[in-house]
């Protein structure tokens, strides 16, 4: 059991490192006047292509045939993870700094803690709850530590980030609930969830913003988009869903807050957007919460 917890913890931490790469690279791509929703659609298409390639390379395309219940689960995962968690998070970056977007995005552990009691039937411990409270403190500190600081934050950005919270909590709870009682195929799951998410994002972008920005994509930007697609979608989602087989949803969501530290640090290095003192404090509190979550999960084994 202890090895399962360590395995699940490593998987979700690796997934968050992959996701942490997205934010600074998304800022670079956005600076080239590329709509970040275009990036999200490309990520989904990239994952579809790579998943299909992997299935044919292993010589077992029959794995694409799934029953109706599993297919519905895969499509639901695409709605939560790609359309809401991924698409709405990237949209929030158009209005917020990376640190602001991430600290709102990762209030999701509290939503997951509450939902895990009746969706996955896994009661979180008091230490899990304490970790969630510490994350709230980290969010508050990262956003400025005062109501005045919150009032200066873009309302549109907060709404997009709040939708991403629903997506992240939803994908964790639904994924954990299904993985407890069903076997899932990683490549088929990536393929079908990417298809459903891509359809929703493609429809949104076509209706509301159009595709004029596609002509601005240069070879350099295209290479960055491919890198984001491979790490931020194909690898990250595969690792994330694999972790749900080993540790509870609440713990997965708490561990995933490590993305904040990775993204803020890389944004400082790659974009030159240096985090403020209160944003660094928020990251420190998040790291403390992750430590509490790991201890709580170990004690529950």
User: How is residue 122 annotated by DSSP?
Assistant: -
* C-alpha–C-alpha distance, residues 85 and 236, integer Å: 13
Handedness of CA 201, 270, 231, 248 (dihedral sign): negative
pTM of this prediction? 0.79
* C-alpha–C-alpha distance, residues 207 and 130, integer Å: 43
Token pair in block for residue 64:
């694409």
185: domain range? 2-300
Token pair in block for residue 5:
């917890």
Domain count, the chain: 1
pLDDT in single tens digits along all 301 residues of the chain: 567 778 888 898 899 888 888 878 888 898 899 998 999 999 999 999 998 888 888 766 667 788 888 889 899 989 998 999 888 988 888 888 776 777 787 778 778 877 887 777 777 777 877 887 887 787 777 766 666 666 677 888 889 989 999 998 888 888 888 877 777 777 788 889 999 999 999 999 999 989 999 999 999 999 999 999 999 889 988 888 888 888 877 778 778 877 777 877 777 777 777 777 877 887 788 778 877 777 776 665 5
* C-alpha–C-alpha distance, residues 14 and 149, integer Å: 32
User: Are residues 263 and 23 in contact, defined by beta-carbon separation less than 8 angstroms?
Assistant: yes
| DSSP states of 236-268 | HHHHHHHHTTTS-HHHHHHHTTHHHHHHHHHHH
């Amino acid at each position: 059991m202890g090895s399962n917890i360590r395995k699940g913890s490593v998987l979700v931490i690796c997934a968050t490192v992959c996701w942490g790469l997205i934010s600074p690279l998304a800022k670079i791509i956005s600076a080239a006047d590329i709509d970040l929703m275009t990036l999200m659609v490309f990520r989904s298409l990239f994952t579809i292509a790579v998943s299909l390639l992997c299935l044919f390379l292993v010589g077992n395309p029959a794995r694409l045939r799934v029953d109706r219940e599993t297919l519905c689960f895969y499509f639901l995962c695409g709605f939560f993870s790609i359309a809401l968690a991924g698409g709405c998070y990237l949209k929030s970056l158009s209005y917020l700094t990376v640190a602001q977007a991430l600290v709102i995005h990762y209030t999701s552990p509290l939503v997951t803690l509450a939902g895990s009691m009746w969706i996955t039937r896994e009661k979180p411990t008091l230490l899990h709850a304490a970790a969630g409270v510490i994350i709230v403190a980290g969010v508050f500190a990262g956003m400025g530590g005062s109501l005045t600081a919150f009032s200066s934050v873009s309302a549109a950005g907060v709404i997009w980030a709040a939708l991403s919270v629903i997506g992240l909590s939803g994908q964790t709870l639904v994924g954990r609930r299904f993985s407890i009682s069903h076997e899932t195929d990683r490549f088929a799951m990536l393929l079908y969830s990417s298809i459903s998410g891509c359809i929703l994002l493609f429809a949104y972008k076509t209706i509301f913003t159009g595709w004029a920005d596609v002509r601005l994509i240069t070879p350099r930007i295209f290479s960055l988009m491919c890198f984001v697609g491979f790490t931020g979608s194909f690898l990250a989602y595969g690792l994330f869903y694999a972790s749900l087989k080993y540790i509870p949803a609440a713990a997965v969501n708490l561990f995933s807050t490590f993305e904040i530290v990775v993204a803020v640090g890389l944004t400082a290095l790659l974009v030159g957007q240096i985090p403020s003192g209160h944003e660094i404090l928020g990251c420190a509190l998040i790291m403390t919460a992750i430590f509490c979550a790991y201890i709580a999960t170990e004690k529950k084994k």
